Amino acid sequence: MSLPVHVVPSLVGVAVGSAVEVTGDEAHHAVAVRRLRVGEPVVLTDGAGRAVTGEVASTGKRVFTVTVASVDDAERPQPELVVVQALPKGDRGELAVEVLTEIGTARIVPWAAARSVAVWKGERAVKSLARWRSTAREAAKQARRSWFPEVTDLATTADVAALLGAAALGVVLHEDASVPLAGLEVPTSGPVVVVVGPEGGLTDEEVATFVAAGATSVRLGAEVLRTSTAGLAAASALLARTRRWS
């Protein structure tokens, strides 16, 4: 059975024998909800490549400490997968973030596409972005990731074009494209950027802008997927052709 994973702000300088204190909501959930006990083995991670395993040495109301038994430093996975996710309606955004995190996406970029039904403005934008980031954090713990994904601020079409221009490979999912995603060569390193459009589809202007920035317009297959699952399907197809999944 997999050990429970908890997140701490930093594990810099931590070594075997160190005592690491976990506080706040993370500790409250572990102690009060999960009923963590002294002597129980756990994993702590900072989400920045380092994870430690150890036993719980003490617990309190909103705190527990772990004595470190082993330290693992993981290299950042390459190629780096970046998914630009057009804002979906309802809770489909959190679903997309959850599955993209579980599959190993390094960066998730919420994008205000022209035909996005959802609109992030003012307080709604703050709350929606917070939900996406919280979803990514919890999904990363569940997936036992040492490197947590970054959920960026809301991007414009110009921002997405700039991302594609700097990518080792950039693809735009489009049902009318003639190039199959499966036919592309996937680089061994650098950012691989996948653009997922909204429920209403991409506009001709958006596709033209992204292709001019260096992206390739591609199709997954004959079926048209929902915006909340298209990114997962594309990421799977790409990762299956890299050393990450070999």
C-alpha 85/C-alpha 129 separation (Å) is: 12
Position 223 scores a pLDDT of 86
Q: Is 68 helix (H, G, I), strand (E, B) or coil?
A: strand
Under 8 Å between Cβ of 140 and 163: no
Angle between helices 227-239 and 92-103 in degrees, nearest 10: 10
C-alpha 239/C-alpha 184 separation (Å) is: 12
| Residue 33: burial class (beta carbons within 10 Å; 0-12, 13-18, 19+) | exposed
C-alpha 8/C-alpha 27 separation (Å) is: 10
pLDDT tens over the chain, length 246 residues: 689 999 999 999 999 999 999 999 999 999 999 999 999 999 999 999 999 999 999 999 999 999 999 999 999 999 999 999 999 998 999 999 999 999 999 999 999 999 998 999 999 999 999 999 999 999 999 999 999 999 999 999 999 999 999 999 999 999 999 999 988 999 999 999 999 999 999 999 999 999 999 999 999 988 889 999 999 999 999 999 999 998
187: preceding bond cis by omega (within 30 degrees):
no
Beta-bridged to residue 41, according to DSSP, are: 55
Which distant-in-sequence residues (6+ apart) come within 8 Å of 120 by Cβ? 87, 110, 112, 128, 129, 154
As given in the structure block, the two tokens for residue 56 are 């719980």
pTM for the model stands at: 0.93
Structural domains of the chain ordered from first start: 5-73 (2.40.240.20), 80-245 (3.40.1280.10)
